[in-house]
Structure 1
Amino acid sequence: MTTWTVATAVHTLLDAENRRHDIEPLSDTWADFTLDTAYRVQDETLARRLMRGEHITGVKLGLTSRAKQARMGVDTPLTAWLTDAMTLPIGDPVPLRQLIHPRVEPEIVFVMGEELRGPGITAGRALAAVRSVHAGLEVIDSRYRDFRFTLPDVVADNASSGFVVTGGVALAPYDLDLALEACVLEVDGRVVYTATGAAVQGHPAEALALAANSLAARGISIQPGWLVFTGGMTDAIPITEGTHLTASFTSLGTLVLGASTG
């Protein structure tokens, strides 16, 4: 049986990601695995990514919608890291050979115009720090078998990070009603989900404020130029070879995503 430490957890998760094989949740055999320890694992995993040449591009929130919380059996949002290695250019297919069991979810994305440092950040203050708003798609890919995990498990796994796509339409944050910004998610021409920005903590700016305040507890602030993916507006959709996914937003444009094993 593995004697779990932060170091062994980091090695296990990165090995699972690099070899594209799933594992049982750490919490199955790590009796005193806490949320604080999980964030230490997440941050050390980021440090390993930076050592191998990746660069921080922003942060992402997970489990900010009731749909995602219900799907995953947890009730608390979380924060995680984005790096340049996770960026998927618009028009590129999802590289299935780099992933285990990918799923896709639509998100509202902020590009930051100024630093946002908690604690005490409100939604209004958070929105004032935003430079532009975009449509986004996140390709999540849990390292845990069957997407089964507790909150500490998914935090340690960097919130099931895979790839992110940011839309080219950029609007100022006060040029649209983010709570009412709608998204229609279609798979192979069939509507599977609809949602509005209100699905994300009531308003995406609330998610941004939550991220700033949560990161402040770890001595981290959100930097100018960073992306902030505010969390899935809907449940996530599995994507396989030949899947054609379209996310149509009211004001933020349309994103189309396919997948390839090539």
Structure 2
Amino acid sequence: MPRPPFSLTDQQASDIARGVAELEARIPRDPRSHRPFVRGFINLVRASTGNLYSPTIYRRLLDAYASDRRPSMTTLAAERERAGRIAPQVAPMLHGHCVSSAAPSSVTSDLELVRDIVADALEEKIARVVQTVEYVQNAQLDFYQHQLEQIEHEAKALRAKVATLGAELAAARQSADQYRTEAQNARDAAERNVRSIEQLSRSTDDMRKFALIGIDDARSEVRQWKERCTQLELLRHKDAQAMDALRNASFDQARMPVTKGPGR
């Protein structure tokens, strides 16, 4: 008789979807091992439907409800076989029906069951610890990422400021070179003016000396002319006195009577 096609009711699909969301939050993604998530997923499907299915069915369900989880078919088959071994024995253990008079094979199965349960609890605890560590690491990474972005932003601003300062420095150097050239030209012009002033000063000194010599010569000549004028004035005065004396003598002679000589 052919096997009936696999299908889920709306309630089962809703339970699986809600349970997958809880598994996603509780079991972080680990590319090295998908076993914890596959084990939880198989238990979730069994709790929702009451049945165990083939690895192919679990692959279809994973593709539908957790497409980003990609365990291998080997992992699905191993976890399906494990779930098949544990399922018939969980209820008797939980209800206290396991007794010390059980057969050795039953005791061995119970020990394996306890070991698997403890292993599941440890894996779940480890998964929670890993999730907590990853959360802390993610928070630290977010903090460091924020710090890195802030530092990169500051570095970008500093690079822009350095570029601006470099441009201003280049402009300042160009202006300094221009001012240095202008200062050198002004210094050369000042030196030329100093030389011209020195030459003019020497020329002025020569002219002053020449003028002083000319003034001295003129004073000497004036002095000589004054002395000559004085001499001429004395001579004129003497000549005037002589003229007066001659005039007086002539006048006196003219006033004297004329005497006749003998025989006239």
Shared fold per TM-score greater than 0.5 = no
TM-score, scaled relative to structure 1: 0.24
TM-score, scaled relative to structure 2: 0.24
Higher relative contact order (Cα pairs below 8 Å, separated by 6+ residues): 1
Which protein is richer in helix relative to its size? 2
Which protein is richer in strand relative to its size? 1
